A and B are shown apart, each in its own frame.
Chain A
Amino acid sequence: MSVMLEVSDLKVAVDDVEILQGVDLEIRRGEVHVLMGPNGAGKSTLARTIMADPQFEQVEGDIYFEGENINDFSTDERAKLGIFLTFQNPLEVAGISVEDFLRTTKMELTGEDISIIKFKRELQGHMQDLDLNQIYAERYLNVGFSGGEKKKGEILQMSVLNPDLVMLDEPDSGLDVDAVRIVSQTVADFLSDKKKSCLIITHHSVILESVKPDFAHILIDGKIVKRGGPELIERVNNEGYNWIREELGLEKVHDEVLD
């Protein structure tokens, strides 16, 4: 299968502090990758740099999408290529309804006019999948949403905008058991045709039961220090990261929290 995303020797800094110190990553079409690591390791930084967040400076390295170097692509250009990122704390945009926003965005992405009625129907279908109340579409984007509604909203946008590569930045944190199940199932269904790829950042294993990952990467102190398959995820979930630190001769952290 063809390589969808390739990240090579990526170094990223914010305010002159290097957060990623040479990261390599390759994701092929149809693959699901998990990015794990202790808090502050740089997981979100990697995803946000792939999305060209201006607060992070790409100091060195390259990012390729479908074989094309996208280093100079702006955020929206990357989105148009089919890259999508869910935000941990999606922003509130008062005055613009969820429906308005998504229809405008979808038209921008596809370059086609989409009828209001047709779009409404499609949107309602996706909302049902996520167990979102119909009134949700009319509310202002993320304004006054509960934590769960915000997370579901991000997944709803993914479903509607239909990207090729989805990066899910802790899509499950702060959700109750039922909501995690619903979100997991929606993501699993979305990926089921094996034509799309996915990078998940998570601390939890529940979502990974539905969205079966093919590979796992462990990011510590800005470097990917270990790679493996599903067995690696299990070991981290059981034992934390200290055994990896030990293997690598890094200083052990004693009060590490596995949440």
Chain B
Amino acid sequence: MSNLISNLTSDQNVKQQDTKRILAKKAAEREVLKENRRKERAEKLKERTYVEEFDRGVYDIKNPNTYEIMLKKGLNEEIVREISSIKNEPDWMLEKRLAALKIYHKLKNPNWGPDLSELNMDEIATYIRPKAQMESNWQEVPDEIRRTFELLGIPEAELDYLSGVGAQYDSEVVYHNMKDYLALQGVVYTDFESAVEQYPEIIQEYFGTCLKPNLHRYSALHYAVWSGGSYVYVPEGVHVDIPLQSYFRMNAPGAGQFEHTLIIVEKGGSLHFIEGCSAPRYNTINLHAGGVELFVKEGAKLRYSTIENWSRNMYNLNSKRAIVEKDGVIEWISGSFGSRVSMLYPASILIGEGARSEFTGITFAGAGQTLDTGAQVVHKAPHTYSTVETKSISKGGGKAIYRSLVQVDEGAYGCKSNTDCQSLMLDAQSRGDTIPTIILKNDDVDFGHEAKIGRIDDQAIFYLMSRGLSEEDAKAMIVRGFAEPVAKELPLEYAVEMNELINLELKGAIG
């Protein structure tokens, strides 16, 4: 018996020794493999140099800070009343502002998404009136301000391929003009203050009904201190064949911009609206909390394009929302390049049968940026359709987060929805997250979602280099190709601008 045990023990010993030997061998082999694979990967990834800050050319030109009015920093009832009185507003608008302010004080920063703790409203001036009146002739706009817009190419674009332009400088619109033939067809395109004054019934009926003040903290803030923005009205059956553009420029440091855009496209009408934004860089925090409300009526079509290039000291907490009726179409084209932190998720509420939403977006997050962007679609009516196509690029430690919602409600039968989101990471310091939510409340839906995340395919670089491109050019070409689905949706000149922005961003990343 004792023999048996000792045998067993020695067997076990042998077995244990075997195991140890095999393990040691495996471990040694693995070390070699690890070493080799690391070398291979290092070879692939090579050392890259990063340019922390780079010249963003015309976007960075600062003007001296001379203002007619600059309210003191901070937010309270007194300031809200002051904005209202400067604008000489009707009482109902002041009421709305005060109600929104109450909501703002009740709401907290979201417990999800980017960190907003750095943003302190006590340090933000909510209203800054430039030394300028609103003009409809560029020559009347003060030289300094005009020069800024000229460098941004706005007056030139107006001549070449726009049918109307609005230009906002800090809190007020300094230029607004539209081609006469559109006015003759009943199209209205004006700054939002003029709209409140001239079309009070319409504004009262629509204002704050699509994008509600209680949606989140910064939509409440927007409604409390809104200033500037655009109002567009496209009458039934009218097709605005050439785009309108509103450009928002922020010059003052430590300030906020809160423009309100409200667009109504009546039955069977169509419009392409372009929104551009930029600001020079300062070392203080700036805030942009605009509000966009879009009403797309039966069979109407609205394309809303945005190229956003805020400076890297901007918190861009913008809210955009469209209500789409029967057979109406909303198309969002969204390019997010600038800002320190962005939280932007344009929403389409499809309330009429056959309504459609198409979202195409690109986000490019560089060093120090956290761009949390995406889209929301709520299918509330049967046979409504949506597509979401997004591209995210992150580099130099930038964070690009794709966040979305697709919801199909009870009774919204026969809906189709397709999402495709791709993220490209240009280095190991960067982050790319994908956070989609899908809520389906009936069975008659056709839903698909695809997401991909990764780096530039070495094979693709190899292929292009084998045709004679430098590695840098090959990578740039691949990134441009990646962005192409968005670029092709933009008017040519804007596609060129976007490609320039990408090249500008890439200059720091690849070298």
- Do A and B touch directly, given a CB cutoff of 8 Å in the complex? no
Which residues of A line the B interface, CB within 8 A?
none
